[in-house]
Structure 1
Amino acid sequence: MFRKVCQKDAVILFLIALPGILHFLVFNYIPLGGNIIAFQKYSIFDGIVKSPWVGLDNFKMMFSIREFYQILENTLILSFLSIVFGFPAPLVLALLLNEMRRMWLKRSVQTLLYLPHFLSWVIVGGIFINLLSLDGFLNTILSSIGAAPKDFITNPDTFRGMLVSVGIWKEAGWGMIIYLAALAGINPNLYEAAMVDGAGRWRQMWSITLPSLMPAIIVLFLLRVGSVLDTNVEQVLIFINPLVRPVGEVIDTYVYRIGLLGAQFSLTTAIGIFKSVIGLLLIVGVNYLSKKSTGESIY
């Protein structure tokens, strides 16, 4: 009887998981077979079967393009800035929100913080282009007080900072939810014991809260490092313009431009494989270092 109940539960759990399994098979694993065109001179008219093989020619072409190195540099700089300034932002917001004692205020602030996540980049781009452009709202205020206007959208010196700042504004509140969930799982007895020992709120945060959040911090950091060559292509496409293309063009927008618009499918597939290999090496290496130094890792 017990075995029949277990088998029935296993079937029910499998049926529940089946849509997710099919999703990953159809949209993640089966398309991996298309990477074979990176080793072909692919033509949409000949297809994968009849397209001629060229070996590693597409990878050689990728490294022979002078523009590729500038795009790689732009991608690494934007990713570095996003990690340095964007990664700690959700953690800081979660810690600050955790200190609020009035639940109605805490819930209201939390809702306002993660609300921008649900706005599309088209809407967010329109808002900030109107705010930060040369004739936008911010420069109107600066002009009214006698300050010189500055165009953040078309200025190469401020474009990267603007991109990172807008990305933090939009996504920091959503990332904060993960840390809030981890904070809810901390044993309250630890804080009570610390209060008995005379520890203040600041000491409790350093001695209890942050160590308890360390597993979540390490996992999220490892996942972020693994996608260091990935950028938010929607955000960059919304804000990029010819004046800032030398500093704003990234790998994803380059792939979109020469792959989808230029029909160079084999070359862009080779670039995609290059990104995946670099991401895999980074996540394995950083995971190993994290496991050796902190004991926390993904696997």
Structure 2
Amino acid sequence: MIQQRGTEIKKRSQWLGYMRRNYILYLFLAPAVILTIIFKYVPMYGAIIAFKNFSPRKGIMGSEWVGFEHFQRFLSSPNFYDILMNTLKLSAYGLILGFPVPILLALMLNLIRGAKIKKNIQLIVYAPNFISVVVVTGMLFVFLSPAGVVNALITSFTGKPVSFMSDPAYFRTVYILSGIWQTAGWSSIIYVATLANVDPQLHDAATIDGASLLKRIRHIDLPALKPVMAVLFILAAGGIMSIGYEKAFLMQTALNTPTSEIIATYVYKVGLQAGDYAYSTAIGLFNSVINVILLVFVNTVVKRLNEGEGLY
């Protein structure tokens, strides 16, 4: 017992000594830790509202405790299934269609040998990421309106325009494709950086041995990308329910609501517009719990398929 206590004291003194020697590193780390605590952990206190009949006049602790009443109300609401399925479909389709694009883009950029040409192409594909969501949505309404450029081309062949922005059948397609266009270039940066660390001698040796381009990509580039792909896929799948409401809300019209109404837009409407803070908090908490479950599940599956390599 005394020996164990002595070992603990020795480890603690070593740790304090390490902190004193490297205090500059901790000073650099401190702002990030403080901001994370303030904006990520402190707001968790507000999750109590989901279990109360919240009144701004009474405050969080003074409001009446109602337990899971708001959760039951959401789960039993007539539009629960439609909202949940709209959210899942939009996220799942976006993940399935959008996840491989940055990888393919990084592989293509890696094949470009001219440094100047490569930089110019990277500038072009990265630029859309810096365009505001509001501007992107405005561009969609301009280009895809009945009098827009796209419909002008369609009308010349079919004789009638297509209501891309009002027809519910086109909402997911427009949302996902525009999202891929906007974010694929920026998302490929981490893959490009990973490929830059691949030893060129591996490609030279494979070329001498007669390996084709596809074989070199399959046996050299993709194995190098595999750990990064696993981590990013887990993170993407774990946030599958966390679609930002801005773009969906801006693209939403009275006609495409059957497919554009997702959990995020519903929370915005019942919480900020209707002022039902407790109900909207319960929906948001339900959404977060589903994300955590998906994160744990996907990480477990990926670790089994990826020889024990996962997010944690």
Same fold (TM over 0.5): yes
Name the SS for the 1:80 alignment partner.
Answer: helix
Cross-structure match for 1:298? 311
Q: Matches of 1:9 and 1:234 in 2, distance apart? A: 46
Cross-structure match for 2:104? 92
Bigger CA radius of gyration: 2
1:1-299 correspondence runs (5 A):
7-144=19-156, 147-295=159-307, 296-299=309-312
Alpha-carbon shift at residue 143 of structure 1 (Å): 3.2
Q: Matches of 1:214 and 1:128 in 2, distance apart? A: 35
Alpha-carbon shift at residue 127 of structure 1 (Å): 1.1
Name the SS for the 1:52 alignment partner.
Answer: strand
Alpha-carbon shift at residue 7 of structure 1 (Å): 4.6
Q: Matches of 1:203 and 1:293 in 2, distance apart? A: 22
Q: Which amino acid aligns with 2:148?
A: G
Alpha-carbon shift at residue 145 of structure 1 (Å): 5.2
Q: Which amino acid aligns with 2:81?
A: Y
Cross-structure match for 2:6? none
Name the SS for the 2:302 alignment partner.
Answer: helix
Alpha-carbon shift at residue 155 of structure 1 (Å): 1.0
Q: CA RMSD in A?
A: 1.7
Cα deviation code 1:46-103 (max 9, x no counterpart): 1112100001111111111111211001001101110111111111111111111221
Return closer, same or farther for 1:198/1:244 CA change in 2, 3 Å cut-off. Answer: same
Ranges in structure 1 where 5+ consecutive residues have no aligned partner? none
Q: Matches of 2:18 and 2:292 in 1, distance apart? A: 38
Figure out how many residues of one structure are paired with residues of the other and give that number: 297
The alignment's TM-score, normalised by the length of structure 2, stands at 0.91
Return closer, same or farther for 1:38/1:184 CA change in 2, 3 Å cut-off. Answer: same
Q: Matches of 1:288 and 1:7 in 2, distance apart? A: 35
Q: Matches of 2:75 and 2:25 in 1, distance apart? A: 48
Cα deviation code 1:125-166 (max 9, x no counterpart): 111110001111221233345642112111111111011010
Q: Matches of 2:288 and 2:134 in 1, distance apart? A: 28
Q: Matches of 2:29 and 2:231 in 1, distance apart? A: 24
The alignment's TM-score, normalised by the length of structure 1, stands at 0.95
Name the SS for the 2:146 alignment partner.
Answer: coil
Q: Matches of 1:39 and 1:145 in 2, distance apart? A: 57
Return closer, same or farther for 1:146/1:53 CA change in 2, 3 Å cut-off. Answer: closer
Q: Matches of 2:241 and 2:69 in 1, distance apart? A: 22
Cα deviation code 1:232-289 (max 9, x no counterpart): 3111111111100011110000000111111111111111111111111111111111
Q: Which amino acid aligns with 1:216?
A: V
Q: Which amino acid aligns with 1:282?
A: L
Return closer, same or farther for 1:27/1:7 CA change in 2, 3 Å cut-off. Answer: closer
Name the SS for the 2:301 alignment partner.
Answer: helix
Ranges in structure 2 where 5+ consecutive residues have no aligned partner? 1-14
Name the SS for the 2:54 alignment partner.
Answer: coil
Name the SS for the 2:217 alignment partner.
Answer: helix
Cross-structure match for 2:4? none
Return closer, same or farther for 1:37/1:4 CA change in 2, 3 Å cut-off. Answer: closer
Q: Which amino acid aligns with 1:35?
A: A
